[in-house]
Structure 1
Amino acid sequence: MKVIISPDSYKGTLSAIEVANAMQAGILDVNQSIETVILPVADGGEGTLASLIASTKGRYFTANVVDPLGRMIEAQYGVLGDNETCVIEMAQASGITLLQDSEKNPELATTYGTGQLIKAALDEGFRQFIIGIGGSATNDAGIGMLKALGLQFKKEDGTAIADGVSALLNLKTIDVSHLDSRLAEANFIIACDVDNPLIGEHGATAIFGPQKGVKQQLISHYDNCLKHFADIVEKQYHIRLHDYKGAGAAGGLGGALIAFLHGTFHAGIEIVINAVQLEKHLVSAQFVITGEGKSDCQTLHGKAPLGVANVAKATGVPTVLLSGSIDESDRLALLEHFVKVESLVDTNTTLQQAIQEPYHFIRLKTKKIFEHYIQMGAE
């Protein structure tokens, strides 16, 4: 028997590779002769870098950059096993997990560090990029990243606008003359699982701003700041970001990548699946096992486990879903895509136990699942 092990992370407890290792241990507890292939996945957000590097046997680089509040930190980026494709996860430099709740500051939070990561990768000679833009702490329309790459944002008198999102209201012109010339040779694929426009009721600020610290009474203010930026972009460069699908991702970073780095959007899980060559590894496999921290109806809207199941189904390989918890009201809907849907949380295991010892319970539940299939095969 050959089993592909391809989970996402159990966010807050284990990384995707840690989940995969626990699943592998459970399978080998049943029979050491079972062939296992570990291909951890992600959907473009936090964890995408680790999954891609692990699955393709790539390597990491480290760079000194600023965090969302301008403090110096060490951040990682990577190159896939092809030694050509560079993976940058914006959450490494500009992610919300880098801040305490009390530190969230939508006025000052910047994507400058993400631009520094791109610049560091350009220095290493990379020109093919996958940019994962989930998990941001920012609502700055990507101007921090663009500043790090040489763009200048000027007031009517020709001087630079001040730092901070509100200063965008003073923006008159965007000067691209000092943009890093190496970007002309680069190709950017944007890994993203949202299609929100830049502004409006479904835009970056209205939908994602509150989790980044935007107070309800200031949503319209920050939305107007992003609108003014989009107005200038449209006036100067004839690119309309206002209602462009995906432009609102990562507080507007998606729009900046589209307009100035000519990035193209792809569903994060599709990028990861292609990069790890899942379809090739499915040859001669009997099962796939995947999972995530919690599975519910949202899983069926572009999340990593569904992407894995869809590829497996197309090649005739059944997929098992093992997640930390399952929304019971969505179990039947999930069973339309997975041959078996299991949760760590059951009549014998509480949510608290599963959170405290996730590796142990993933291993135990995986063992039970595959004991069942081995027994079925023997009958």
Structure 2
Amino acid sequence: MKIVIAPDKFKGTLTSFEFCDIFESTFQKLLPKATVISLPLADGGDGTIDIAQHYLGGEFISKEVRNAYGVIVNANYLYSESTKTAFIEMAEASGMKTIVHNDLNVKEASTFGTGELILDAINKGAETIILGLGGSATNDCGIGMAKALGYCLLDESGNEVVPIGKNLPKITKITSENVHTQLFEVNFKIACDVTNPLYGSNGASYVYAKQKGASDSDIELLENGMQHFSKVLDDYFNINTQEIIGGGAAGGMGVASKTFLNGELISGIELVKELSNFNAHIKNADWILTGEGMLDEQTKNGKTIQGILSVRPSPTKIAVFCGKIAIATKTLDTLNINYAKDILSIAEDLNDALTNTKQHLHILAEQFVKNEFAEANFAKS
């Protein structure tokens, strides 16, 4: 009997490592002859860097960089000397977590600090850089990052433009004479979990800028800037930026990663599955146990559980454990989920579920093993 444990975190209450530990210990106690493989996962969002370290090894590098508003902060990224691979979360330098939320003013924000982290990794000798998009406080189409890497962004008078979102309409020319000489020797993989285009009603500015502090007039300014700058990018890189799936991610960093970095945009969960050698590990598995904080309609849009469902081999069964299941039983059947339980079903209330997540998951784990592996002949396997 082969069991693969492959969860995402329950944000704020349980790490994917803790989930694995709970189920591992349960199987060791109740079914010690089972072969259990733990593969903690993430979907590319905040915290993916810890999962990356689990598979890549390496060490965390701390560097002083500018946050989205130019304030010096300490940001960390992961670097593996043996594989010459760096894992950078842009949220470390250019994210909402680095600023005071009541001071949000996205049109003044820049991704310069993310560029500083990339530059440091290149100088360390990185040959592959994995860049996680998400949690950003920016809407500058990556011009701050580009500036840090040596690109020049000029206005019609030939003057350099300060690389912040509100200045996108001023840029008329890009030059690359001062770009770091090793930039295009690096293989960039970009963890991107949204499909939004750069601009338009479903683009970066209209969908995400408000939560980063933009007023209605700010959004119009940023939207106009995105549309204007996209034409500059199209001409310089001979590309149609609006056709880039996920181009609007992280305030246009999807497009910036594709153009300025020549990066490959990949679903975050697909990238983590690649790091974990997931597809090889699940061969001949009898069960895959997974979970995340919420199982809802968003699960089908690039989340960890969907990433597992998309590749699970037949006749492998899937068990899902969540904080809350917010989809109908019929939908579970459609997704071919064989077993699903949530913590809210046994907790007294939401506060109990959030406060005692580990204890409740222990209970669900024991219930699952006792219910699904009750046959006596399992002990002989």
Query: 1:166 maps to which residue?
Result: 166
Write the distance in 2 (CA, Å) between the matches of 1:364 and 1:65. Answer: 45
2:60 alignment partner AA: Y
Deviation at 1:36, TM superposition (A): 2.7
What is the aligned counterpart of 2:328 among 327, 330, 340? 330
Task: Report Cα offsets for 1:241-295 as digits up to 9, x if no partner.
Answer: 1343211111001111111211122221111111101122224533211111101
Query: 2:264 maps to which residue?
Result: 264
Task: Report Cα offsets for 1:91-138 as digits up to 9, x if no partner.
Answer: 222222333321322112221111111111111111112211122111
Query: What is the total number of aligned residue pairs between the two structures?
Result: 377
Query: 2:368 maps to which residue?
Result: 369
Q: Return closer, same or farther for 1:338/1:56 CA change in 2, 3 Å cut-off.
A: farther
1:297 alignment partner AA: E
Write the distance in 2 (CA, Å) between the matches of 1:23 and 1:138. Answer: 39
Q: Return closer, same or farther for 1:273/1:145 CA change in 2, 3 Å cut-off.
A: same
2:366 alignment partner AA: K
Query: Contact 1:161 / 1:167 at 8 angstroms: preserved in 2?
Result: yes
TM-score for the superposition, normalised by structure 2: 0.92
Task: Report Cα offsets for 1:340-378 as digits up to 9, x if no partner.
Answer: 111011154422111112222222212221121221465
Query: 1:95 maps to which residue?
Result: 95
Deviation at 1:218, TM superposition (A): 2.7
Write the distance in 1 (CA, Å) between the matches of 2:289 and 2:280. Answer: 16
Provide the alpha-carbon RMSD of the alignment: 2.1
The answer to whether structure 1 residue 238 and structure 2 residue 233 are counterparts is no
What stretches of structure 2 of length at least 5 have no aligned partner?
A: none
Query: 1:36 maps to which residue?
Result: 36
2:107 alignment partner AA: E
Q: Return closer, same or farther for 1:90/1:331 CA change in 2, 3 Å cut-off.
A: farther
Query: Contact 1:296 / 1:334 at 8 angstroms: preserved in 2?
Result: no
1:23 alignment partner AA: F
Write the distance in 2 (CA, Å) between the matches of 1:314 and 1:113. Answer: 42
Query: Contact 1:306 / 1:337 at 8 angstroms: preserved in 2?
Result: no
Write the distance in 2 (CA, Å) between the matches of 1:266 and 1:119. Answer: 21
Q: What does 1:26-175 correspond to in 2, within 5 Å?
A: 26-79=26-79, 83-175=83-175
Write the distance in 1 (CA, Å) between the matches of 2:80 and 2:354. Answer: 31
1:24 alignment partner AA: E
1:171 alignment partner AA: I
Deviation at 1:86, TM superposition (A): 2.2
Query: Contact 1:29 / 1:367 at 8 angstroms: preserved in 2?
Result: no
The answer to whether structure 1 residue 294 and structure 2 residue 288 are counterparts is no
Query: Contact 1:40 / 1:55 at 8 angstroms: preserved in 2?
Result: no
Q: Return closer, same or farther for 1:353/1:184 CA change in 2, 3 Å cut-off.
A: same
Which stretch of structure 1 is more off in the superposition, 107-116 or 13-22?
Answer: 13-22
Write the distance in 2 (CA, Å) between the matches of 1:146 and 1:169. Answer: 16
Query: 1:216 maps to which residue?
Result: 216
User: Secondary structure of 1:107's match?
Assistant: helix
The answer to whether structure 1 residue 255 and structure 2 residue 255 are counterparts is yes
2:219 alignment partner AA: I
Write the distance in 1 (CA, Å) between the matches of 2:319 and 2:82. Answer: 30
Query: 2:227 maps to which residue?
Result: 227
Query: 2:355 maps to which residue?
Result: 356
1:65 alignment partner AA: V
Deviation at 1:81, TM superposition (A): 9.4
2:129 alignment partner AA: F
4+ residue runs of structure 1 moved beyond 3 angstroms?
A: 25-29, 31-35, 55-59, 79-82, 376-379
Write the distance in 1 (CA, Å) between the matches of 2:370 and 2:78. Answer: 38
Write the distance in 2 (CA, Å) between the matches of 1:49 and 1:176. Answer: 30
Query: 1:275 maps to which residue?
Result: 275
Write the distance in 2 (CA, Å) between the matches of 1:59 and 1:319. Answer: 34
Query: 1:346 maps to which residue?
Result: 345
Write the distance in 2 (CA, Å) between the matches of 1:79 and 1:349. Answer: 43
The answer to whether structure 1 residue 197 and structure 2 residue 197 are counterparts is yes
Deviation at 1:79, TM superposition (A): 4.0
Write the distance in 2 (CA, Å) between the matches of 1:9 and 1:81. Answer: 27
Task: Report Cα offsets for 1:205-237 as digits up to 9, x if no partner.
Answer: 111112212223432211011112112122333
User: Secondary structure of 2:140's match?
Assistant: coil
Write the distance in 2 (CA, Å) between the matches of 1:151 and 1:193. Answer: 27
User: Secondary structure of 2:362's match?
Assistant: helix
Which stretch of structure 1 is more off in the superposition, 68-77 or 220-229?
Answer: 68-77
TM-score for the superposition, normalised by structure 1: 0.92
Write the distance in 1 (CA, Å) between the matches of 2:157 and 2:173. Answer: 10
Q: Return closer, same or farther for 1:81/1:19 CA change in 2, 3 Å cut-off.
A: farther
Write the distance in 1 (CA, Å) between the matches of 2:37 and 2:55. Answer: 9
